[in-house]
Amino acid sequence: MRTTSSNTQAEGSNSESNLKRQPEVDDDSSDSAAKKPKAQTPVQEESEKEEKSLEIEADVAEDKGSRHTMEDAWVIMLDATLDSPGKLRCGHFAIYDGHGGRLAAEYAQRHLNANVVSAGLPRELLDVKAAKRAILDGFRKTDEDLLKESSSGGWQDGATAVCVWVIEKRVFIANIGDAKAVVARSIDGSDKGSALKAIVLTREHKAIYPQERARIQKAGGTVGSNGRLQGRLEVSRAFGDRQFKKVFGPSDAVEFVHKLLKEGLPVTAVSRRLVREAVRERRCKDNCTAIVIVFRRK
């Protein structure tokens, strides 16, 4: 069971229209406009010329403030696909806010984008659904690999994240925890001489929120009276934090047992492995007993 989670909001927005938060990740939008000969479409020629002249500039500043150490990590990649070339231009920007140490933030800094690209981030033809799926899969793989790394290394760091991928003129934003992405837009829609308004593109994941509290409790975790996960952690989703992801929820137990049965292990071995996983790996401090019952058709 994962009481904190790398469950991710992945949102896509066209940079030429208002950027609005999309409540669901399975957006049906797509860029499927039919192409026409240039000679018949002067507007298209202008659009293409504008696209070629579009430039992205980015920089970063950091300060540890009053903290003793700096636990944040960041990424600026104007070309995020040098190892996976394609027709589509892609930039990647991310901030990882570490807690309990810097190791989880640094791990995500090194591996997340590569995992997203490997998961199928579109390189030749923009597919919004495929891009979102790749981002979600990349987040999951990064967290799974990070948990293995932290378990073998004996560390328990965690990190929230806010990440941006700019694919041509489409912007995809993904976040876990309380890191935010904000876009500034002119109030009247003009490019110059207008006041700006701030639009928050992300939704915070905190244990105190009813939806997150219900998700945590359904998975077998607890939210303390102080509104913190297991009484300790304010954010409810993050990379790492393996100490908060060790208890078995019903779905986790089923997946664990099913995997072992598919591998051909006998029921006696499966029940023992289940208890051993709960006690030795996930550090269950209570008495732990499990009965595995398998129903087979003859």
Q: Residue ranges per domain, the chain?
A: 9-33+55-200, 248-298
Local structure of residue 206 (DSSP, 8 states):
B
- CATH topology for 9-33+55-200 is Phosphatase 2c; domain 1 (3.60.40)
Q: How far apart are CA 164 and CA 56, in angstroms?
A: 13
Task: Tell me the pLDDT tens digit for each residue of 259-285.
Answer: 898 899 988 888 888 888 877 766 665
pLDDT at 50: 46
Q: Could you tell me which residues come within 8 angstroms of residue 227 by beta carbon, excluding any fewer than 6 positions away? A: 206, 207, 208, 234
Q: Average pLDDT, stretch 170-177?
A: 88
Task: Tell me the pLDDT tens digit for each residue of 117-132.
Answer: 999 999 899 999 999 9
Burial of residue 86 (number of CB atoms within 10 Å: 0-12, 13-18, 19+): middle
pTM: 0.60
* DSSP H or E stretch at residue 183: strand 182-186
Distances (CA, A) of 287 to 3, 106, 211, 221, 276: 20, 36, 31, 17, 12
Q: Could you tell me which residues come within 8 angstroms of residue 159 by beta carbon, excluding any fewer than 6 positions away? A: 71, 73, 96, 97, 98, 99, 104, 105, 107, 108, 177, 238, 239, 240
Task: Tell me the pLDDT tens digit for each residue of 27-67.
Answer: 333 333 333 333 332 333 334 444 444 677 788 877 776 67
| pLDDT above 70: percentage of residues in the chain | 59
Distances (CA, A) of 290 to 115, 147, 186, 248: 36, 24, 60, 12
pLDDT at 113 over 50: yes
